[in-house]
Structure 1
């Protein structure tokens, strides 16, 4: 007999909110301009760079793959860290201005889960400041309090698709993966969750729709709302038109 569902674990970027194209990408470009660099990450290029998880890692990959002629300063690590810190500052400012809403169905599901006594956690590669700013701008100052554990940034050395961030959250919460369902939006995120032996629901976005989601328990284009149904991509929603707690429990293995 499988374990009772006790917790929902959420990725952030692309899962809770469509933060990548019009959030992080724009913030990176603002940081580059501020530093006097003529780099500009287009929508298409950023889609390719998203294959690398982690902002600092993404900058390094850009230099190695797309800008190998750049004369790097002696302290490359410090240079990259400075750019990333500036990017985070610009991103947080964008959030505080209310420019990035939660995705369809996210607030409804979070509040229903909290009311039902399910434990909530974040498992992401983005920085803690980005997470708390997003939660505050969309759910209010108490938004972060909905989550018992926020696993974010560099608390683990290996980022997604490694399972480390999920393993960190599970350990902090004293949970078995069989007691949880994870929510992701990308192939790297799914691989991370599956590596931690978590059943996973995927909500795709424009950047990730073509990813390989083999192994996911359910793949839809959004959580959806009553009257605003999801588009089913893979899996059996048992007749449901949006992701609610009943469907999550069915996915987990319990009614």
Structure 2
């Protein structure tokens, strides 16, 4: 019997669908330095996959004398400006896998800790109807690594979280997906994912199709039944 596709595939955005992490890092250093502080690449890596409000509080601790919402909006505006001038840098194979899933009739959701306006801007630049829904960081009570974002996406799609696959590039994102009950694929980008709980680690999405998603989904549930 052919493997069955999941009820939905749930995508992280920054670092998974699009390689915007360098854009965020490029926005962070000038922000901290404008208040007389210093900011290192290692400190930026600590924020990968973190909710924006939590990240803003870390910037406050680094000397940024701005309210949380103002920090979030400034960073978002900076990243959006880079997207406008430099383009949307899709991760290798991400757009193709997304198109393959859509061609196969699989519902998809974008589950991101970025603001809705940024997520919508990225989705609007995709040249096909890529997602059924968006769940953004300003629309959930608790950010990743809590399960709330993935639970909300499953609820909006009307599917059982256990019958979904989530694709993530950060430990916090993987923990969120696993806590929600999804089968989680880790696709490393700028930080390692060993020990973060992924059900599978794929070095890249390049060459992956809906058939690979179905095979992973089927293998996971055969293992569960055993």
Q: Give the TM-score, by structure 2 length.
A: 0.86
1:203 aligns with 2:187: yes
RMSD: 2.4
| Contact 2:165/2:217, CA 8 A, preserved across alignment | yes
| Contact 1:170/1:177, CA 8 A, preserved across alignment | yes
Segments of 5+ residues of structure 2 without an aligned counterpart are none
Residues 119 and 86 from structure 1, CA distance in 2 versus in 1: closer, same or farther, beyond 3 angstroms? Answer: same
Segments of 5+ residues of structure 1 without an aligned counterpart are 226-242
1:49 deviates by 3.3
1:86 deviates by 1.6
1:3 deviates by 7.5
Which structure 2 residues correspond to residues 50-89 of structure 1 after superposition, within 5 A?
50=48, 53-64=50-61, 67=62, 70=63, 72=65, 79-89=67-77
1:220 aligns with 2:202: yes
Cα offsets for 1:27-64 (capped at 9, x unmatched): 2334456xx423443322201233x7122311212433
Give, in whole Å, the separation in 1 of the partners of 2:32 and 2:151.
34
Aligned position for 1:18: 19
Give, in whole Å, the separation in 2 of the partners of 1:122 and 1:219.
20
Q: Higher relative CO (CA 8 A, sep ≥ 6), structure 1 or 2?
A: 2
Residues 113 and 49 from structure 1, CA distance in 2 versus in 1: closer, same or farther, beyond 3 angstroms? Answer: closer
Q: Give the TM-score, by structure 1 length.
A: 0.77
1:211 deviates by 4.4
1:250 aligns with 2:215: yes
Of 108-117 and 3-12, the range deviating more from structure 2 = 3-12
The alignment of Structure 1 onto Structure 2 pairs a total of residues equal to 218
1:251 deviates by 0.7
User: Equivalent residue of 2:46, what SS?
Assistant: helix
Larger radius of gyration: 1
Cα offsets for 1:86-118 (capped at 9, x unmatched): 211111111112344100111111111111111
Give, in whole Å, the separation in 2 of the partners of 1:3 and 1:170.
18
| Contact 1:30/1:90, CA 8 A, preserved across alignment | no
- Residue from 144, 153, 172 that aligns with 1:188: 172
Cα offsets for 1:191-211 (capped at 9, x unmatched): 1001111011110012x2154
Residues 57 and 71 from structure 1, CA distance in 2 versus in 1: closer, same or farther, beyond 3 angstroms? Answer: closer
Which structure 2 residues correspond to residues 69-218 of structure 1 after superposition, within 5 A?
70=63, 72=65, 79-137=67-125, 139-140=126-127, 145-206=129-190, 208-209=191-192, 211-214=194-197, 216-218=198-200
| Contact 1:10/1:182, CA 8 A, preserved across alignment | yes
